[in-house]
Amino acid sequence: MHVNRLGRICGTTSFIALTIGLTATPAVAQTATAPEQQQSQTPSADSTATATPAATTAADQTPAVQTEGDDIVVTGFRASLNSALNQKRSETAAIDSIVAEDVGKFPDSNLAESMQRVPGVSLARGDGGEGRNISVRGLGAAFTRVRINGMEGSAQTGSSDIYGAQNAGRSFDFNVFPSEIFSALTVRKTPSADLEEGSLGATVDLRAPRPLDYKQDLVVAATLRGTYGELAKKVNPRASLLISKQFGDGKFGILASGSYQKRETREVGYSAVDILSANTNGLTTAGVNAPFCTPVGFTPVSPPLGTKGATASLCSTGNPRTSTAAAYNTVIGLRRPDLPNVQGSGAFLPRLPRYVNSEQKQERIGGSVTLQWAPDDATNMWIDTLYSRLDVTRRDNYIAAISFGRSVTNNGQPMTSVRDISFDPLGSLTYGLFDGVDVRSEGLVDRYVSSFGQVNWNLEHDFTDTFRVTMMAGVNKSILDGKKRLQTFIDAIDTDNFTIDYRDGGSTPTLGFGFDVANPANFAYAPALSDGTVLGGFSFQGRPLKQTTVNQTYEANFEWKATPGFKVRAGGQYRESDFQSKGTLPFLAQTVVTALPAGTSLSSITRQISGVDKLFGTGAPASWVAIDSEAWEKTFNFDGVRYCGAECGAGVSQIREQVTSAYAMGQFDTGSALPLPVRGDFGIRYVRTNQHSVGFIPVADATTPTGLRGQRAVVDRSYNDWLPSANVVFELQPELLLRVSGAKVMSRPDLPSLAPNSGVTATTRTGTLNNPLLDPIRANTADLGLEWYFKPGSLLSIAGYYKDIGTYVQRVSSQIPFNELGLPDALLANTNTAPTEIFNVSRPLNTPGGKLKGFEVNAQVQLDFLPGFLSNFGVLANYNRVTSKITYVLASVNGVATVTSTADLVGLSKNSASGTLYYEDKRFSIRGTASYRDRYIRGIPASPGSDLQGNRPNTFVDASASFNITDQFKLIAEVQNLTDERNSLYIDSKRQDTLFETRIGRTFTLGATARF
């Protein structure tokens, strides 16, 4: 068998030796041992893979299936599956891998999307439908650690607000990286003592290729693609190049790879932002809540006479009372069981019903350079460098009714008349006709750059046949630089005949605006009136914000082969993670809305948003007017805006974690010494975490340009963990393996929760308080699996798992008047929000947690037993079922729970499944993949009257094909979202009112690869 001599050193000991047609000489075809022979081999303890991602040889990365005499050469997608299957079989822990099917060719265009095929892995999509992060066995992205070339990394991007805006937590955003710069990924579902802690769900290893992986002295591969988005209607380029060269008879090598991608996307749809009960923004008059402007002659009168021009016939200045008694009584007659005396508490309406148009431009570059030196069979040393950069400009535009999300202070819902209205039996709005509605055309420009760089040095050396040392040192830096986040808007005040209509039975309503929203003359942009009426304006929304995470890792591991069937491993590690978030605030003088300059008309700084009606439907206007942000910036000299930082009360925080750990473990393999061969590992890991948290709390200071300054708060703490683990594999038959695993695991709280900061968002009347004294999330886990490798390249398996989560971290909400929060009134400047208004304030607390259990079924079958061309087919399929029972705190007083409930874990889909059907012969390859994810909770609790925010089920279908013109040239074609699936979010488990639904369309890719 021809095996890369570095296979053992890099971590792969049991794999199919495959051939690659990428040499610079005509000697392309090399024979490989038949898979039948490889599949029958079970690794011993002498060949147990290390905790680093399993290496893939160049042979693992070839495109096709060939025969030479009696030898079989397996290549392409089938080869990548076989290699991953053998890695799974050789490990004592439960893992699943995906390896490149060709040099510089990962099976999917996005790393997160590749992992949909892994049992128990569910994908969370972000803007434009692109895969962003994953959950494993029901545990969300914050519980999954990601290592890049063996070192823990951080990667954050921004996104639209509905998808969580900027990621400031521990969740890893895979869309930062182009897939072409990696050759393998491994999902490790059960821990071992030598695996660094921090994961409740899984540890994902991403590995870039190294020059001595390949059999050839020179390898060159290039790919060029064009990608077309169905909604954006643009063709964008994507290109990659890899060059690997060996010197000194294969003892030294250098590899360089690079990737460039430009992508333009468009997303259209509907958003409610939130669903509120009608009483939320109502006005209390004589102890009675009046959700809308009362009809003429109705008592008590709301708004009260004299409030902002209200009279017996006017809701406000120039705004007639047109509510009908029938419609008004319908609203106030609906009351929730928990609020039986509050009028309208059981009537639910969209907070900001609006149509959405989101356009995004991305530029993604990435590359790696690796130097590797292996002077002899006992020594291997390499330096990996890797860089990736994602530059995004997103432009969101909305046409919305804003009155339903405002109180009387902001001339909101109490000034709106209801003429006709109906609800379903659960209180969800089915139809409404309103007058006195403020309509806003809003634009948001968000530009951010996410970059990642890493350098790490590795050494592996066998001092003797029985003693081995490995060492690693590295540093990486992740930066999310929010360069701009600017909101501009124009308003039409007190418009009539606004409708919200769900009566066609769809999940999203038809909105009727009652006037021509494409005509700039119907909107205003001017300073607010003295009564608080807003006539258009702008906001710096979040301001420029920069998040930086610097990780350092230093470790040494020792391995001693005590006997032929037993090894002792021990080691120590020091890690430091330094997260810093720095925001800025504009000077107060820069935040005041000023009138348009003389000679400037509104039409001269606006543009039209068109096409949403054709792309999304459901009654969207053919066009609506919106501010042209570039023209607005030029008109108002946006480039001259000045900012200041913590000295002016801007949010600044730092979390520095210093982790010192040590482990000891044994690895054993009884081989043929027992009637039932057993192999595995057992050990314990000790971890000490030192945490340094810094935050700034805004306090009033008239001497600063913002009227605020940041008061520094510092909290230091430390805690210890002992984490035992064991993995045992029983070889019931040569092809039948039983896996048993158990461990204690921990995961640290999300970073933003640990910074001692506080703040509010005045327009939504929400606030946050953080908690640097949160305990880690700890759990006891157990896994049991049965795997049947019944024929070469094929597997049937089932695994069950159980996690007892002893403590969980949840944000607990309380309703508190702003003036009781201890924050300065200056935070409410220019918001028309009064200090006496009620804010919904959340604070993270350790809550009781709960239990999670599930099972997964996996099948990988090559159909080579079928006759003729049918033997080239294969099937991949998996199904995962997981349930949980987590105790949530819905309300508290002074941190003490007053209302609790039980529900599934946030981010958990009870059912998920993926299926792939593929065909591959010497020239042609095609496959299609369907991935289903059941509904899951996005947030709990939700707004008053609603128990949660959730994501509806969805099924995404992708397909790809390739054709080998020659051994050196191949054509490729891909389609993402073949069935034009939409993503839909909802609120409340019973009503399931739609919060957000967009269409992302299909994406088509054509390209070619060349290998020399």
Tally of CA atoms within 13 A in the half-sphere of 441 that contains its CB: 26
C-alpha 839/C-alpha 931 separation (Å) is 40
pLDDT digits (tens, 9 = 90+) for 543-565: 678 899 999 999 999 999 999 99
Q: What percent of the chain has pLDDT over 90?
A: 57
Tokens of 520: 């700039």
In the chain, helix, strand, coil percent, each to 5?
10, 50, 35
Say how far residue 203 (Cα) sits from the centre of its chain. Answer: 16
Query: Is 891's pLDDT higher than 50?
Result: yes
Tokens of 669: 């393999």
Beta bridge partners of 370: 255, 384
pLDDT digits (tens, 9 = 90+) for 28-75: 233 333 333 333 333 333 333 333 333 333 333 333 333 333 344 456
- Summarize the confidence of residues 522-541 as an average pLDDT: 81
Q: What is the predicted pLDDT for the residue at 672?
A: 83
Query: Is 162's pLDDT higher than 70?
Result: no
pLDDT digits (tens, 9 = 90+) for 391-441: 999 999 999 999 998 888 888 899 999 999 999 999 999 999 999 999 999
Q: What percent of the chain has pLDDT over 70?
A: 89
Q: What is the predicted pLDDT for the residue at 129?
A: 73
Give kind and range of the element (H or E) at residue 958.
strand 954-964
Going by C-alpha positions, the residue among 475, 374, 556 that lies closest to residue 149 is 475
pLDDT-based confidence at 164, cuts 50/70/90? low
CA dihedral 61, 63, 64, 65 (to 10 degrees): -10
CA angle, 560 as apex, 555 and 561 as ends, to 5°? 145
pLDDT-based confidence at 356, cuts 50/70/90? very high
Cα-flanking dihedrals φ and ψ of residue 112, to 5°? Answer: -65, -35
Query: Is 784's pLDDT higher than 70?
Result: yes
Query: Is 462's pLDDT higher than 50?
Result: yes
SS (H, E, C) 639-686: HHCCEECHHHCCCEEEEEEEEEEEEEEEEEECHHHCCCCEEEEEEEEE
Instruction: Report the SS3 class of residue 325.
Output: helix
341: Cβ–Cβ under 8 A, 6 or more apart, which residues? 335
Instruction: Report the SS3 class of residue 312.
Output: coil
C-alpha 324/C-alpha 332 separation (Å) is 12
Going by C-alpha positions, the residue among 509, 390, 487, 501 that lies closest to residue 440 is 487
- Summarize the confidence of residues 953-972 as an average pLDDT: 93
Query: Is 973's pLDDT higher than 60?
Result: yes
Going by C-alpha positions, the residue among 768, 720, 773, 711 that lies closest to residue 744 is 720
118: Cβ–Cβ under 8 A, 6 or more apart, which residues? 96, 98, 187, 878
490: Cβ–Cβ under 8 A, 6 or more apart, which residues? 440, 441, 520, 523, 524, 525, 536, 602, 606, 625, 626, 627
Instruction: Sort 481 into a burial class: Cβ within 10 Å, 0-12 / 13-18 / 19+.
Output: middle
C-alpha 505/C-alpha 1006 separation (Å) is 39
Query: Is 287's pLDDT higher than 80?
Result: no
- Summarize the confidence of residues 505-528 as an average pLDDT: 93
Going by C-alpha positions, the residue among 653, 654, 657 that lies closest to residue 691 is 657
Least confident range from 118-127, 425-434, 476-485, 911-920: namely 118-127
pLDDT-based confidence at 387, cuts 50/70/90? very high
Maximum mean pLDDT: which of 128-132, 212-216, 700-704: 212-216
C-alpha 266/C-alpha 122 separation (Å) is 24
Tokens of 54: 């399993």
Q: In the chain, count of helices (H) and strands (E)?
A: 8, 55
Tally of CA atoms within 13 A in the half-sphere of 492 that contains its CB: 26
C-alpha 639/C-alpha 633 separation (Å) is 7
C-alpha 768/C-alpha 758 separation (Å) is 6
Note the pTM of the prediction, 2 decimals. Answer: 0.86
Instruction: Report the SS3 class of residue 30.
Output: coil
**DSSP label at residue 774:** P
- Summarize the confidence of residues 205-221 as an average pLDDT: 92
Least confident range from 185-194, 434-443, 478-487, 750-759: namely 750-759
Q: What is the predicted pLDDT for the residue at 890?
A: 72
Q: What is the predicted pLDDT for the residue at 604?
A: 93
Instruction: Report the SS3 class of residue 31.
Output: coil
Answer yes or no: are the C-beta atoms of 750 and 734 closer than 8 Å.
no
C-alpha 551/C-alpha 575 separation (Å) is 7
In order of 155, 283, 477, 713, 865, the CA distances from 657 in angstroms are 17, 48, 15, 17, 55
C-alpha 104/C-alpha 220 separation (Å) is 10
C-alpha 384/C-alpha 211 separation (Å) is 11
Query: Is 995's pLDDT higher than 90?
Result: yes
In order of 153, 319, 330, 517, the CA distances from 412 in angstroms are 46, 12, 20, 20
Length of the chain as a residue count = 1012
pLDDT-based confidence at 807, cuts 50/70/90? confident
For the chain, the average pLDDT equals 85
C-alpha 28/C-alpha 14 separation (Å) is 23
Q: What is the predicted pLDDT for the residue at 56?
A: 36
- Summarize the confidence of residues 895-922 as an average pLDDT: 86
C-alpha 410/C-alpha 402 separation (Å) is 10
Higher pLDDT, 530 or 740: 740
Answer yes or no: are the C-beta atoms of 969 and 1005 closer than 8 Å.
no
pLDDT-based confidence at 10, cuts 50/70/90? very low
Tokens of 457: 């040095």
Q: What is the predicted pLDDT for the residue at 552?
A: 96
pLDDT digits (tens, 9 = 90+) for 562-596: 999 999 999 999 999 999 988 877 776 677 788 88
In order of 199, 378, 682, 690, the CA distances from 554 in angstroms are 19, 22, 23, 16
Over the range 448-480, which residues count as b (16 or more CB within 10 Å of their CB) and which as e?
Answer: bbbbbebbbebebebeeeeebebbbbbebbbbb
Query: Is 2's pLDDT higher than 70?
Result: no
C-alpha 64/C-alpha 44 separation (Å) is 31
C-alpha 943/C-alpha 225 separation (Å) is 45
Instruction: Sort 684 into a burial class: Cβ within 10 Å, 0-12 / 13-18 / 19+.
Output: middle
